[in-house]
């Protein structure tokens, strides 16, 4: 069986949702970042980490999502099979990994981005992160104008990828998602999905 190692509310929420959408049996193991249990499986101590029965491991959220979509074509979560469909899926996966996720790091871990230990320096790094996230969300909001989902091929792993990040933004940007109505609509559409609610309840220990 496929096993997903996840941390509550982390980017691992995306493959957790995708496994639920796929509907095949899987194990979901809750871990803490850097815990002994996680480091034993993935020395970087990061989630998501995916493990197959024969011990094969896959890390990197975008790679895991692409793998799951390809492994389960019957679930129709790849966003389409054409050359340009695939290129668009890669484009948006890279956008979430490199542009959006990375923009949150100064907000989550400001101490990694300055050697100045003052409160003012911490606040300045957080504010810079919020500005970066806002830039990426303007791009996403404009792309989503007139669309229900990110890719042309309908609901896909990329929409699942957006979800942990739209949740973080709702909590961590000064005005939440107020300035991004199309992103808010996508967030709400995903949040209303019964499989997503099931996963959120499991992650919350309910
Ligand atoms: N590039 C990796 C980043 C994974 C990552 O940093 N995950 C976070 C949770 S959202 C984590 O495990 N952080 C622990 C740490 O940085 O110590 C990916 O996309 O999978």
Tell me the CATH number at 20: 3.40.30.10
Number of structural domains found in the chain: 2
Give the full edge-to-edge strand order of the sheet including 26-30.
26-30, 2-6, 49-51, 57-59
- The residue nearest atom 14 of ligand 1, judged by CA position, is 46
Same domain as 177, residue 91: yes
Same domain as 160, residue 111: yes
What's the predicted TM-score (pTM) here?
0.96
- Give the burial class of 167: count Cβ atoms within 10 A of its Cβ; 0-12 exposed, 13-18 middle, 19 or more buried: middle
- The residue nearest atom 20 of ligand 1, judged by CA position, is 60
- The residue nearest atom 12 of ligand 1, judged by CA position, is 46
End-to-end Cα, the chain, rounded Å: 23
Separation of CA 49 and ligand 1 centre (Å): 10
Whether 156 contacts 89, CB under 8 Å: yes
Same domain as 187, residue 97: yes
C-alpha torsion sign, points 99, 101, 107, 112: negative
Q: Which DSSP state fits 29?
A: E
Reply yes or no on whether the pLDDT at 6 is more than 90.
yes
**Percentage of the chain lying above the pLDDT 70 cut:** 100
Separation of CA 146 and ligand 1 centre (Å): 32
Ligand 1, atom nearest to 10 Cα = 10
Residue 58, phi then psi, degrees to nearest 5: -135, 130
State the pLDDT confidence band at 104, using cuts at 50, 70 and 90.
very high
Ligand 1, atom nearest to 64 Cα = 20
Mean of pLDDT over the chain: 96
Ligand 1, atom nearest to 33 Cα = 14
Reply yes or no on whether the pLDDT at 179 is more than 90.
yes
CATH number of residue 141's parent domain: 1.20.1050.10
Reply yes or no on whether the pLDDT at 206 is more than 90.
no
- What pLDDT sits at residue 160? 98
Average pLDDT of 116-120? Answer: 97
Angle between helices 61-71 and 13-22 (to 10 degrees): 10
Question: Among 22-26, 38-42, 74-78, 193-197, where is mean pLDDT lowest?
Answer: 38-42
Separation of CA 9 and ligand 1 centre (Å): 12
- Residue 33 domain boundaries: 2-77+195-203
Pocket test for ligand 1, best of 30, 44, 47 (most atoms within 8 A of CB): 47
Is the pLDDT higher at 17 or at 206? 17
Using alpha carbons only, how large is the chain's radius of gyration in Å? 17
Same domain as 170, residue 69: no
Pocket around ligand 1: residues whose beta carbon is below 6 Å from it? Answer: 7, 10-11, 33-34, 45-48, 60-61, 97
Whether 58 contacts 50, CB under 8 Å: yes
Same domain as 148, residue 130: yes
Same domain as 52, residue 87: no
C-alpha torsion sign, points 127, 132, 133, 137: positive
Reply yes or no on whether the pLDDT at 34 is more than 90.
no
Average pLDDT of 2-13? Answer: 97
Same domain as 106, residue 57: no
């Amino acid at each position: 069986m496929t096993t997903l190692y996840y941390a509550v509310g982390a980017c691992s929420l995306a493959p957790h949702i995708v496994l639920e959408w796929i509907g095949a049996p899987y194990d979901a193991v809750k871990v803490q970042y850097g815990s002994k249990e996680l480091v034993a499986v993935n020395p970087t101590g990061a989630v998501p980490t995916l493990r197959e029965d024969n011990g094969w491991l896959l890390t990197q959220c975008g790679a895991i999502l692409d793998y799951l979509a390809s492994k389960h074509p019957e679930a129709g979560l790849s966003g389409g099979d054409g050359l340009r469909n695939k290129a668009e899926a890669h484009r948006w996966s890279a956008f979430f990994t490199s542009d959006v996720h990375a923009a949150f790091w100064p907000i989550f871990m400001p101490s990694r981005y300055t050697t100045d230990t003052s409160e003012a320096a911490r606040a300045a790094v957080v504010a810079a992160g919020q500005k970066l996230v806002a830039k990426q969300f303007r791009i996403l909001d404009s792309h989503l104008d007139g669309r229900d989902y990110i890719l042309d091929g309908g609901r896909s792993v990329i929409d699942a990828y957006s979800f942990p990040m739209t949740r973080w933004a709702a909590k961590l940007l000064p005005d939440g998602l107020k300035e991004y109505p199309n992103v808010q609509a996508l967030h709400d559409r995903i949040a209303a999905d019964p499989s997503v609610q099931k996963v959120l309840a499991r992650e919350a220990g309910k």
